[in-house]
Amino acid sequence: MSKEDLLSFKEYEKIFKQSKKCGARSILWLGYGEPLFFNRFWDFIDLINECGFILVFFTNGSRITKDIAKELHDMDFSIYIKLIALILQSKINLQVI
């Protein structure tokens, strides 16, 4: 996916606010890769909370530290950890070693 295909943060902000006005109650973040690698992840979390949405996102969990887990725990959203990604990653790492 090229940069031209991506929306800017301002465009997401506009979409989220319009969606809220139309009655949306939640954001399902499927994304195009691991959300916790996204450099504006916490900005998006703040925007989603500001709009009053419930967030649902999927992660492979590889970037979740104790500090991140604490921050995520204190917020109102659902997180799904895809264990198959962790299993596959551990097999890849074992083969590389």
Q: Dump pLDDT digits (tens) for 26-69.
A: 988 876 678 888 888 899 889 998 999 988 888 888 888 889 88
Task: Quote the pLDDT of residue 22.
Answer: 95
Amino acid of residue 21: K
* 36 class by beta-carbon count within 10 Å (0-12 exposed, 13-18 middle, 19+ buried): middle
| Res. 85: pLDDT tops 70 | no
Instruction: Give the tokens for residue 54.
Output: 């419930």
- pLDDT score of 24: 94
Comparing CA positions, the residue from 39, 32, 42, 28 lying closest to residue 78 is 28
Residue 31 pLDDT = 64
Q: Say whether pLDDT at 73 is over 90.
A: no
Domains annotated on the chain, with CATH:
8-96 (3.40.50)
- Mean pLDDT over 59-85 rounds to 82
